[in-house]
Homo-oligomer: A and B are copies of this chain.
């Protein structure tokens, strides 16, 4: 449990009373109570208020707010306020200002604006965390620490360059090794002195943010920047823990945000939290995948939904309202996949500046007579009723999909073979095929133990880090089923090609050799011709983008290309390896192929869907604790839909209704089915 002081699904969100007057505060309390809100996140952007100059700290306003809320039964998620430095600090200590990708030093403005290697930033961010922890360590209202906010953004200043060189020394020891792993003899980039190394940006090796002349330095700079920001987090983390060792510490992550290696971050956080802001056209399965990914960062431990909007965002091109019922539905989607909190950005809308058109529990109108408030309050009542019922329960999945930020960087930075290749999109295609069939999946990093899984899928496993091929071999050898795709096994962790034939270290495991990799523009396609169609499957599917020209060595050919000069060459193969099987999908297939393919693999491994049947648009996810299980059914459709849970005897926690066999679920409806026996 995140914090036993409040043993229920926390309900509340970001709250900025410092923007308002006392009269408003009273009204806030009245409305929080109407809505069933029990947690407020304070102090996210109040550094300038807390520290008006170098020597002065003033937390009186915060004392008052935490007390006031606590007296009314509302707990505080206490932020450290370091996500935006004060204007006076930028003026006095310009080292805190980032240098951007184009090599220009920024001025004061925006947020997430501090250089992570700035001595000033490190000194004062650590100090304020220390002061806050010392001050509130005894306060019963403080449930959890929220360090900074949505860490991200890179810097290319002289401090970062110097720190990068130190980071490299630490990692590679010698310049010879740096030259080797970056292959600097290409284009004569050999370094003879550490100081010759400069940050890779638009003035040196990179262009447009994802093009580089040297993948080695660019991947390392991403690692370094992720580490630099993580160090900033850790400085605050340690300062907080010194005073409050038992209060959990988190920082809010951003799902598939590209800039940080979240698997590395997850290890350093007490509990993972994240901000869920799907765009209008984000597929439901993408949101589901992201929840699963966030859950995976700490090996399945429940996470916090730290932010979502009650209705509208403001930074999308077209900020449509969440339709009636959708906010509740998506809140339960998070809980179904491992969240133990439902928090919003924000409790009250600002009257000015850039987020004033972002939705809030309390809108500009300021009263409770609105659709959004009614939906919020209704959810508050339900969560109250659920009490600690699903709290701390875990998802149990026998299938896993591998997601790796470093591999993602390497794929994104690759020059060729195709600009159309997007790592996350390929991963999501596989996830979606399982999601559509209601098969529970874990999203795992490459350091995860595989022994608990029966099926492991690693799409576009371009970068195979030291030891990972062996781990995969052991997994398959022990009976596991492994699936990977085109453009896998190409490089090691330095982006150096594994010579001797693709897919490199995976060649033996997969029993194939990829001689060439064709790339075609989006309007062109090839076909996957099945040698033996699956039951209910098709004879032929489309595939696109990249086309490995492979030779089966020990593998069995399941399907062949249907056209072009490599018609008849294998496109899907299966290789027996020890007690298991390893599959290779040599191109990017249409969704129907993946559904049929993965259904077959799951059936072979005895991995069952969570429900016997569910209409399209009805999502299922299940959490377990001790002997109890909670099967969440969520109907994303605008119409009443059906599902079938077979012989399970359950009760819907939200209605008390008994449910077994086939059943209907109302539009946008949610059911939490608890087995009883």
Interface centre among A90, A321, A354, by most chain B C-beta atoms within 10 angstroms, is A354
Bound together, the chains give a CA A321 to CA B417 distance in angstroms of: 10
- Asked if residues A316 and B416 are in contact (CB atoms below 8 Å), the reply is yes
Rounded to whole Å, the gap between the CB of A362 and the closest CB of chain B is 10
> Given B102, B190, B365, B417, which contacts A502 in the complex, CB threshold below 8 Å?
B365
| A-B pairs, 9 with minimum CB distance | A183-B352, A109-B204, A314-B416, A357-B416, A87-B196, A365-B501, A186-B353, A109-B205, A48-B190
> Given B198, B364, B415, which contacts A109 in the complex, CB threshold below 8 Å?
B198
**Known contacts A319-B519, A518-B321; A196/B108 CB under 8 A:** yes
Any B CB within 8 A of the CB of A676: no
- Asked if residues B314 and A185 are in contact (CB atoms below 8 Å), the reply is no
- Asked if residues B109 and A418 are in contact (CB atoms below 8 Å), the reply is no
> Given B18, B188, B314, which contacts A415 in the complex, CB threshold below 8 Å?
B314
Which residues from 77 to 107 on chain A have a C-beta closer than 8 Å to any C-beta of chain B? 81, 84, 86-88, 90-91, 100, 102-107
- Asked if residues B109 and A414 are in contact (CB atoms below 8 Å), the reply is no
- Asked if residues A357 and B317 are in contact (CB atoms below 8 Å), the reply is no
- Asked if residues B318 and A420 are in contact (CB atoms below 8 Å), the reply is yes
A selection of 13 A-B contacts at a CB cut-off of 8 Å is A18-B185, A49-B188, A91-B196, A100-B203, A108-B204, A109-B204, A111-B187, A181-B352, A212-B354, A317-B419, A318-B521, A319-B416, A365-B502
Residues of B within 8 A of A364 (CB): 497, 499-502
- Asked if residues A312 and B417 are in contact (CB atoms below 8 Å), the reply is yes
- Asked if residues B370 and A515 are in contact (CB atoms below 8 Å), the reply is yes
> Given B319, B417, B502, which contacts A418 in the complex, CB threshold below 8 Å?
B319
- Asked if residues B497 and A356 are in contact (CB atoms below 8 Å), the reply is yes
Per-residue 0/1 for A171-197: is the Cβ within 8 Å of any B Cβ (1 yes, 0 no)?
000000000011111111111110111
- Asked if residues B186 and A350 are in contact (CB atoms below 8 Å), the reply is yes
What total of chain A residues lie within 8 Å of the partner, measured CB to CB?
A: 110
Which of A132-140, A213-221, A287-295, A532-540 interfaces with chain B?
A213-221
Any B CB within 8 A of the CB of A654: no
Residues of B within 8 A of A333 (CB): none
Rounded to whole Å, the gap between the CB of A356 and the closest CB of chain B is 6
Residues of B within 8 A of A356 (CB): 497
Closest to A420 in B: B318
Total identical chains: 3
Any B CB within 8 A of the CB of A513: yes
Any B CB within 8 A of the CB of A246: no
Rounded to whole Å, the gap between the CB of A570 and the closest CB of chain B is 15
> Given B370, B496, B516, which contacts A311 in the complex, CB threshold below 8 Å?
B516
Any B CB within 8 A of the CB of A355: yes
Which residues from 396 to 415 on chain A have a C-beta closer than 8 Å to any C-beta of chain B? 414-415
Per-residue 0/1 for A349-383: is the Cβ within 8 Å of any B Cβ (1 yes, 0 no)?
11111111110000011100011100000000000
Any B CB within 8 A of the CB of A520: yes
- Asked if residues B352 and A46 are in contact (CB atoms below 8 Å), the reply is no
- Asked if residues B45 and A187 are in contact (CB atoms below 8 Å), the reply is yes
Bound together, the chains give a CA A521 to CA B280 distance in angstroms of: 9
Residues of B within 8 A of A199 (CB): 107
Any B CB within 8 A of the CB of A323: yes
A-to-B contact residues, CB < 8 Å: 16, 18-19, 45-49, 52-53, 81, 84, 86-88, 90-91, 100, 102-111, 181-193, 195-200, 203-206, 212-216, 280, 311-321, 323-324, 349-358, 364-366, 370-372, 414-420, 494-497, 499-502, 513, 515-521, 565
Closest to A97 in B: B203
Bound together, the chains give a CA A344 to CA B497 distance in angstroms of: 21
Rounded to whole Å, the gap between the CB of A157 and the closest CB of chain B is 12
**Known contacts A213-B109, A502-B365, A516-B372; A88/B196 CB under 8 A:** yes
Residues of B within 8 A of A84 (CB): 187-189
Rounded to whole Å, the gap between the CB of A306 and the closest CB of chain B is 17
**Known contacts A319-B519, A320-B520, A416-B316; A352/B196 CB under 8 A:** no
- Asked if residues A182 and B353 are in contact (CB atoms below 8 Å), the reply is yes
Rounded to whole Å, the gap between the CB of A346 and the closest CB of chain B is 11
Residues of B within 8 A of A372 (CB): 516
Q: Known pairs A87-B190, A91-B195, A365-B499. 20 more at Cβ < 8 A?
A: A19-B185, A48-B192, A49-B188, A84-B189, A86-B192, A87-B189, A87-B197, A88-B191, A88-B196, A107-B204, A213-B353, A215-B354, A314-B415, A318-B520, A319-B416, A320-B519, A351-B496, A352-B496, A364-B497, A364-B499
Residues of B within 8 A of A323 (CB): 565
> Given B104, B203, B517, B520, which contacts A107 in the complex, CB threshold below 8 Å?
B203
Closest to A86 in B: B188
Residues of B within 8 A of A515 (CB): 365, 370-371
Residues of B within 8 A of A192 (CB): 48, 52-53, 86-88
Bound together, the chains give a CA A213 to CA B184 distance in angstroms of: 41
Bound together, the chains give a CA A313 to CA B418 distance in angstroms of: 10
Residues of B within 8 A of A193 (CB): 88, 91
